[in-house]
Homo-oligomer: A and B are copies of this chain.
């Protein structure tokens, strides 16, 4: 598996699983009925963000991550990121590889820490993955997320120092 920066041509591979993940409404705080144009603007690289794809040896895009400063100005030394893994390629370490790449990028870019603002409590695999990469839950918004399957669940804020 290779992690490389996303290019325009990757979007057609990203959109199907991004759409599936966002529509499901279980893990992402994006509008569930998002249209493709808006989603592309929100996910693909911009002047203030970096987007990567995880690619299999045969060129298949397995997942993607977007990373950026969490705030601006006097709080711009803390990075954040969002992650999407194609369900057809789950349990192959794609999320972990994307997370490790993100941490390496944040370190090399000079960030002092990484904060995830909205890790859904019922997304236990994500919570466990981030813990295993050194993150801890520094706070939870009670009933901050409404899961179609689980109803109102907490929304964790997770952090790790770099």
| Segment touching B, from A21-29, A92-100, A124-132 | A21-29
A124-157 at interface with B (beta carbon < 8 Å): 138-148, 155, 157
Contacts of A74 in B (CB 8 A): 25-26, 28-29, 32, 145-148
The reply to whether A73 and B29 form a contact with Cβ atoms under 8 Å apart is yes
Contacts of A73 in B (CB 8 A): 22, 25, 28-32, 34
| A side interface size, CB within 8 A | 37
Contacts of A37 in B (CB 8 A): none
The reply to whether B157 and A139 form a contact with Cβ atoms under 8 Å apart is yes
Contacts of A72 in B (CB 8 A): 29-31
Cα–Cα, bound, A120→B48 (Å): 23
Is A159 engaged at the interface, CB distance under 8 Å to the other chain?
yes
29 A-B pairs with CB atoms under 8 Å apart are: A25-B73, A29-B71, A29-B73, A29-B76, A30-B73, A31-B73, A32-B73, A32-B74, A34-B73, A71-B144, A71-B155, A74-B146, A74-B148, A75-B145, A75-B146, A77-B146, A78-B144, A112-B143, A113-B141, A113-B142, A113-B143, A113-B144, A115-B144, A117-B117, A139-B139, A141-B157, A141-B159, A142-B159, A157-B157
User: Chain A: residues with CB nearer than 8 A to chain B?
Assistant: 22, 25-26, 28-32, 34, 71-78, 112-113, 115, 117-118, 138-148, 155, 157, 159, 161
